[in-house]
Amino acid sequence: MENKARYWITATCKDHVKRGIEGGFMQANLGKLPALKRLKPNDWIIFYSLKQFMESDEKCRAFTAIGSVTEDEPYQVEISENFKPYRKNINFINCNEVSILPLISELQFIENKKSWGYPFRFGFFEIKQFDFELITNKMLKK
């Protein structure tokens, strides 16, 4: 039986997305395992960055990366004695950063357009194929 693709968004600051692209991995929800366990091969994930850096308030408000999920299992790495996040390998594709602001009115996962940032508070969530295609079509334009 073929694995039907599912589509996800994870909210991660832009500098962490860049680090993930360089290393071919992602973390979700501050390195916790449950979100990564939901990802299956052939799934796609879009990275949304509210901020440029975790430690600052400099806004980004853009979709910053797209990747497909590999068959590899999540794994744990030791960053420090007190921080041992889980990661999942991702095949990133070359794309452009796209602001969310002109897309808000069209995105179905944003039910309340005035409080458009609300869904991102969860850090990781599934979206419908319509939203995935809307975002990726913008990100893949030359």
Query: Alpha-carbon torsion 23, 29, 2, 109, what sign?
Result: negative
- Report the DSSP pairing between strands 59-69 and 75-76: unpaired
How many distinct structural domains can be found in the chain? Answer: 1
Q: Identify the domain containing residue 134 by its residue range.
A: 7-139
For the whole model, what pTM was predicted? 0.94
Going residue by residue through the chain, which has 142 residues, state the pLDDT in tens, using 9 for 90 and above: 456 899 999 999 999 999 999 999 999 888 899 999 999 999 999 999 999 998 888 999 999 999 999 988 999 999 999 999 999 999 999 999 999 999 999 999 999 999 999 999 989 999 999 999 999 999 998 6
Position 135 in a domain? yes
Other beta carbons within 10 angstroms of residue 64's beta carbon come to 24
Domain CATH code at residue 77: 3.10.590.10
